[in-house]
Every structure is written in structure tokens, then in C-alpha cells.
Amino acid sequence: MSAVNETKLNSVIFLLTGLPCNGDAHLWISISFCFMYVISVVGNSVILFIVKTDPSLHEPMYIFLSMLAITDLGISITTIPTILGIYLFNSREISLDACLAQLFFIHLLQCIESSVLLLMAFDRFTAIHNPLRYASILTPPRIAKMGLMAVLRAMVIILPLPFLLKQFRYSRANVLSHSYCLYQEVMKMACSDITVNSIYGLFTKLLTMGLDSLLIFLSYVMILKTVLSIASHEECLRALNTCVSHLCAVLLFYTPEISLSVIHRFGKGSSPLLQILLGYISLLLPLLMNPIVYSVKSKHLRVRIIRVFIK
């Protein structure tokens, strides 16, 4: 009996969904996605290379930026095969095991990125509230421990997800709403009661992105309180200007991600096209824009990037 169940489990296929368009449009869409992925991979790789090779950038702010770039590269690598596979080769099928592996890494890396954004908020608060002790508080060993804790927290929370989904029965063909696998989507395809899984999925969102976004908000309340106590108007603006890049990264990450989660849970009558577009925005926009935003706003980083390409 177990052998029969195993055979049925291995034959489960999920069908990924792309934008509804004809073959000619697929070519242009694939070119657009290739272009976005190239910019994302090159941009994040350049940031990592410059921070690693330039000793003057071995500061907490740029170390956290490197962590953000690594997670963005990881998400790019995880999603490239299925997204480009649909538009370049019309390959929509993905096996259950491959789907579970992909959703695990997507949610793991997103959880880590949320933690890194929280650490970057703490970095900005420390730099503004206590600048004289900034370097002594955020030492390299302490930053390494903070990064390790972010990874361990994500592993503990996200690791149960594929195992919870693996125990379900599925029909032989299941059509997903995106070009990649997500926990909420695969869970809805199960031919079983998913109440416990739905509660755990909501718990993971609240414990990671919900808690992190709340703490980031509180960090900026404290930053504003500190900045408003500064007598000089110019110093006040200079302090706030150091937070612009991080604020952009926070908005790019949390706004579409929270919107997509709300649609998945409560938007039963929402347009499938809206879900697909919002899914691409939540996944690809931070990967594409983070290196651009930080390169534009950080003068030190921008100068070194220009030197690399001029040489």
C-alpha cells in the first residue's frame, strides 16, 4: 500500500502560470525578464565585489548591505529556472519535490532578507543615536553573530513548511497562480484539511515579516525622536538622508509582499492577472532596485563602482 502511495506522490505535477499572452509576446517578456535578472545579478555581484575588495567599506552599513545582496542573489538563482523556463521554452511542469524545494528556498531567503532589513534599521538607529560608540557596538564579530541568528531563525521557522506539504495527497495535475512555487499556493492544491497548515503559514508571516516590520517602524520612530532633538537643521537633514536607501529597500520589500499575502488569504475573487503581476513585483522588484538605490544614494559606493567600470 505504501509503495502505491509513493508512486502516486511521485507522479504529482504542478503547472506554473505565466502572463496570458501569445507566442510573440512571450519572446519580448522573456527578453525583459532576462534583462531584469542580468541587472539584478550584476548589480548585487558588483556590490559584493567592491565591499569585499575595498577596506574603507568594511563598515557595518556596507556589511549589512552585502548580506542583503547575497539574499537577493539567492532569490534570483532560485526563481530563474522556472520563470525563464515558461517564457523561453514553454516549460510549465514542475514535480512535487522540485516545487517543495523551490518554495523552501524562496521563503527561507525572504525571511532572511526581512531579518537583514531589521538589522539595517538597528544599524541606522545606532549610527544616529550613538555615533561615538557606533563602531564599538557593531563590531565585525557581533555583526557575524547577528547574521547567523537571522539564518538560524529562518531555518527553524521555514524548515517545517515542505514537510507539512509533503504529507498531503494531491491530484495528478495542479495549476498554480504564479511562475514559481509558494507555500500558500501549493497548500490550496491539497486534497485534505489544511486548517493546521493555514494557521502555521499565518504564524510564520506574523513571526517574521509582521514582527520585523513592526520593529523597523519602532526603530524609525526612535530615529525621528533622536533626529528632532538635533539643534542644527543641516545635521538633521544629513542624518535623515542616511536612512533614505534603507527606507526605499523596506518599502520595496514589504509593500508588495504584504499585499500578495493579503490577496492569497482574503482575495478569493481577485483577478488572476493581478496575482501574477503582484507576484512578479514582490519577487523581482527588490532584487532589481536595491543595488540601484544604494548605488545612487551612497556616494562612497557610487564612486568605487564608477572606478571599477572606468578601469
> Grid coordinates in use for 165?
506539504
Task: Say how far apart CA 202 and CA 299 lie, in whole Å.
Answer: 40
pLDDT at 227 (0 to 100): 86
Whether 118 and 68 have beta carbons less than 8 Å apart is answered as: no
Distance, in Å, from the CA atom of 213 to the CA atom of 210, rounded to the nearest integer, reads 5
CA 42 – CA 71 distance, rounded (Å)? 14
What end-to-end distance do the CA atoms of the chain give, in Å? Answer: 66
The grid cell for 96 is: 512535487
Domain that holds residue 29: 2-310
pLDDT of residue 7: 42
Q: What was the pLDDT predicted at 258?
A: 84
> How open is the CA angle 302-306-307, to the nearest 5 degrees?
120
pLDDT, position 311: 61
pLDDT of residue 268: 67
| DSSP class per residue in 95-161 | EHHHHHHHHHHHHHHHHHHHHHHHHHHHHHHHHHH-GGGHHHHS-HHHHHHHHHHHHHHHHHHHTHH
Other CB atoms within 10 Å distance of the CB of residue 38: 11
**Buried-exposed string 162-191: b where 16+ CB fall within 10 A, e elsewhere:** bebbeebebeeebebbbbbbbbbbbbebbe
The answer to whether 111 and 154 have CB atoms below 8 angstroms apart is yes
Q: Chunk the chain into consecutive blocks of 10 residues (it has 311) and report each block's average pLDDT, rounded to whole numbers.
A: 46 85 74 90 92 88 94 94 87 91 95 96 92 90 95 96 90 84 89 86 90 95 86 77 90 88 72 83 90 85 79 61
Per-residue pLDDT, 191: 85
pTM listed for this prediction: 0.91
- Specify the pLDDT at position 257: 86
Provide the pLDDT for residue 267. 65
Cα dist. 37→31, 108, 110, 289, 298 in Å?
10, 20, 17, 11, 23
Which pLDDT value is given to residue 4?
40
CATH number of residue 100's parent domain: 1.20.1070.10
Nearest CA to 126 out of 18, 204, 226, 271 is that of 226
The structural domain count of the chain equals: 1
- Count of all residues that appear for the chain in the document: 311
Question: Three-class SS string for 215-270?
Answer: HHHHHHHHHHHHHHCCCCHHHHHHHHHCCHHHHHHHHHHHHHHHHHHHHHHHCCCC
Q: Which three cell numbers stand for residue 267?
A: 482575495
* pLDDT for the residue numbered 1: 42
